[in-house]
Amino acid sequence: MEKFYITTAIDYVNGAPHIGHAYEKILTDVIYRHFTQRFDKTYFLTGTDEHGIKIQKTSAQNNMSPKELCDMNSQKFKDAWKALNVDYSQFIRTTDEQHEKVVQKIFKKLVEQGDIYKHSYKGLYCSGCECFLSEKDLTEDGLCPDHQKAPEIVEEENYFFKLTKYKDAIIKHIKTHPDFIVPSFRANEVLNQLENIEDISVSRATANVSWGIPVLDDPAQSIYVWIDALTNYITAIGYDPDGSSEKFKELWPATVQVIGKDILKFHSIYWPAILMALDLPLPEHLLAHGWITIDQTKMSKSLGNVISPETVMEAFNLTEPDSLRYYMASAAPCGKDGNYSDEDFKEKVNAHLANSMGNLLNRTLSMLVKYFEGDIKPEFLGKNELKEQALEAVKAVKHHFDYFEIQEAAQRIIELVDITNKYVTDNAPWTLAKEGQIEKCGIVLTNVLQVMTVIASLIYPFCPNIAKAMSEQLSYDINTKLDNITCEVLKSGHLIDKENIKPVFLRLDSELADKSKK
């Protein structure tokens, strides 16, 4: 793979970011950081979706212009991702002038080639979903299943995209590319949805939805959701029907597009059809993640259990987001739902990051200083009994990331930590020193520290700040590519002084942690 281009869904700016938004961005950032450790050309796109009737109505209710509401809430998303160390390459807003211009060109191109046509329509419209629903989509009570509200009857003349024209091609692509939809068990769900698809509305009358991109040559129509929002993945990197940039040619197709399972239909049916109409290749993978519940309950404004990532960080006095990143990214198996609870968060990160990983490094370095004044002697090198297990862990973690098994990758890293802890317990370097087996004691400690350089690299995508703190104490280059890891990076000589040994992660409930973070 010569490049790695990853995208997230763009978040609708009708409200502020919550922990569900954070889950997707953290998950994507962890995947992105891992692949930056393997490839030289990587790119990470995220952003905000800023047009539509909900923005129009909410801004009016708050005595703001739609653009003022978008500016305010888009900044909230940027601030949240900064606080969580989400290292995106580009943040696109669908109100960006360049995006709007290219969307108009795309729309015009599709009209001219006959993929978009004008049609009078009467249908059931859900403003929450921002789409038309059929009778079979509704509950027995005639409600939208996601928003529990009855759709309104809308009758107007709109432009429609010939989705049905691409039905067979999409079905064929899904069946011949079993890794297109991840996890694969969702493919049947999409194939079932394809059986009854109809052409889709891609514009609204400006009289009803004024906050949108006007259709060129027909200002009475606003370009509606799908052509506007979905095309951000290509407009951001320089796609243009009149001639695309070198950047676009280098990056497209996307390697993986990370989305929530609730918008899989739009990304696995509407989006491929639009790309086919533009004669562009499809993304290699669509990763549909599950939802994050709060204490096993789905987030809901009415229940008052919608929490923001900043709230969690403030509650635990966190100055760095590593523990929340680790917890969220490893919260669920690929594509399944995960859960957040304060107690589980505290218990898991204390066990994995403080007690197991952080304490292992701290006590090993402390023993190196106590018995050898922080020096690694030449005779301590070259007999690493843990090397093969460490290198096997690197292979396993890479394999899990190749299949977007992020929880499993985290578990494999902690398994290596546990193996190394057991090695320390079994060999008892403190006893070896007491018995005068100084060289053997030094070999054991050096073996552990060599493995800790591997652990620092593997944990980096999840916990970049902790990994950097570990690497600084080990004098290890955290930018080492995974293919270049040897588990033999430490050389003979002075490694560390006592005053430079510091905990890389303090327990969340420790008195010291509270004092240091207030």
pLDDT value of residue 422 = 98
Whether the Cβ atoms of residue 473 and residue 500 lie closer than 8 Å to each other: yes
Tell me the angle at which helices 406-427 and 387-402 cross, rounded to the nearest 10 degrees: 170
Secondary structure of residue 51 in the 3-state scheme: coil
Dihedral over Cα of 256, 261, 262, 264: its sign: positive
Q: Does 34 participate in catalysis according to the annotation?
A: no
Q: 152-161 and 116-126: which strand pairing?
A: antiparallel
Q: Is 301 a catalytic residue?
A: yes
Residue 116's nearest CA partner among 127, 105, 101 is 105
42 vs 2: CA distance, rounded Å = 9
Residue 144 among the catalytic residues: yes
At 473 the pLDDT is: 98
Structural tokens at position 374: 């922080």
Q: In whole angstroms, what is the distance from residue 264 CA to residue 372 CA?
A: 57
Taking only the tens place, the pLDDT of each residue in 361-374 is 999 999 999 999 99
Identified catalytic residue from 122, 249, 298, 383:
298
Distance of CA 85 to the CA centre of its chain: 12
Q: Which of 18, 34, 78, 289 is catalytic?
A: 18
In the residue annotation, 131 being an active-site residue is answered as no
18 labelled catalytic: yes
Q: Is 49 helix (H, G, I), strand (E, B) or coil?
A: strand
pLDDT value for 301: 63
DSSP class of 480: -
Average pLDDT, the chain: 94
C-alpha to C-alpha distances, 498 to 36, 59, 516, nearest whole angstrom: 33, 58, 20
pLDDT on residue 300: 65
Interaxial angle between packed helices 406-427 and 322-329, expressed in degrees from 0 to 180 and rounded to the nearest 10: 110
Q: For 424-439, what is the mean pLDDT?
A: 98
Q: pLDDT at position 440, please?
A: 97
> Which one is predicted more confidently, 389 or 147?
389
**pLDDT per position as a tens digit, 286-302:** 999 999 988 877 766 65
Catalytic residue, chosen from 67, 119, 122, 147, is 147
Decide if domain 342-517 falls under CATH 1.20.58.1030: no
Q: pLDDT per residue over 116-155, tens digit each?
A: 999 988 888 887 777 778 887 888 888 988 778 898 888 8
8-state DSSP, 165: G
CA distances from 232 to 32, 372, 407, 518 (A): 19, 57, 29, 41
Region 330-355: what's the mean pLDDT? 94
Percent of the chain with pLDDT over 70: 97
Confidence bin at 515 (pLDDT 50/70/90): very low
Q: Which of 25, 70, 99, 144 is catalytic?
A: 144
Over residues 486-508, the pLDDT tens digits come to 999 999 999 999 999 999 998 88
Looking at per-residue confidence, does 146 or 203 come out higher? 203
3-state secondary structure 267-303: HHHHHHHHHHHCCCCCCCEEEEECCEEECCECCCCCC
Read off the pLDDT of each residue in 400-428 and give the average, rounded to a whole number: 98
More confident of the two residues 150 and 409: 409
Return the amino acid letter for 186.
Answer: R
Q: Which of 25, 51, 99, 129 is catalytic?
A: 129
- pLDDT score of 511 more than 50: no
CA angle 19, 467, 39 (to 5 degrees): 85
Backbone angles phi, psi at 47, to 5 degrees: 165, -160
Query: How many secondary structure helices (H) and strands (E) does the chain include?
Result: 20, 18
Using only C-alpha atoms, what is the Rg of the chain? 26
Beta partners for 200? Answer: 161
Quick one: CA dihedral 240, 245, 246, 251, positive or negative?
negative
What is the pTM for the complete model shown? 0.93
Confidence of residue 1 (pLDDT cuts 50, 70, 90): low
Structural domain boundaries in the chain: 342-517
Spot the catalytic one: 70, 126, 441, 487: 126
463 catalytic per annotation: no
The mean pLDDT value for 434-449 works out to 98
Residue 510 confidence (pLDDT): 54
Determine the Cα–Cα distance for residues 135 and 151; give it in Å rounded to an integer.
10
Does position 31 have pLDDT exceeding 80, yes or no?
yes
Share of the chain above pLDDT 90, in %: 85
Which of residues 506 and 111 earns the better pLDDT score?
111
Q: What is the pLDDT of residue 128?
A: 73
- On whether the CB atoms of residues 203 and 222 are closer than 8 A, the answer is yes
| pLDDT score of 149 | 85
Stretch 210-234: mean pLDDT: 95
